[in-house]
Amino acid sequence: MENQVPEIFSIIPHTHYVLLSTILFVVGLIGVMIRKNVIIMFMCIEIMLNAVNLMLTSTSAYYSHSGGQIMVFFTMAVAAAEVSVGLAIIVMIYKNLKTTNIDAFQKLKG
């Protein structure tokens, strides 16, 4: 057994994948905090989900254990369901309020 880790990790340290995922996650987090458009906030949540997916995949490849990649598959399934329901809610709120600004959504407060 000449090399113990998958080929790519002999060139690129696993830490760099962790750093890349962290940067992507933080970009998504900043986007959720600064944007007012609900649809763009939703897209930033997708960026954060993808950062976590990348982290899981790289760790799963590093340890050669398929659990991480199965987890990514289920994350994608849940994200698809979440997006469909969330966008339906946004469309319904837009029909009532005629805007997608998050500040207008505080009318939903009970």
Partner 1 sequence: MIDIIFYVLSALTIISATMVIVSKHPIRSILFLVLTFFLISAHYVLLNAQFLALVNIVVYAGAIMVLFLFVVMFLNLNEEVEKVRHYFPWFAAVISGGSLMLIITSALDKSVLLSPYPVKDYSIGLVENLGSVLYREYLLPMELSAVLFFIAMAGVMLLSRKEKVD
What type of residue is 33? M
Give the nearest distance from C-beta 48 to partner 1 in angstroms. 10
**Alpha carbon distance 47, 29 (integer Å):** 9
Give the nearest distance from C-beta 110 to partner 1 in angstroms. 19
Please identify, using beta-carbon distances, which residue of 82 and 105 lies nearer to partner 1.
Answer: 82
Give the nearest distance from C-beta 10 to partner 1 in angstroms. 10
In the chain, what are the helix, strand and coil shares in percent, each to the nearest 5? Answer: 80, 0, 15
DSSP 3-state of 37: strand
Please identify, using beta-carbon distances, which residue of 33 and 110 lies nearer to partner 1.
Answer: 33
Please identify, using beta-carbon distances, which residue of 38 and 109 lies nearer to partner 1.
Answer: 38
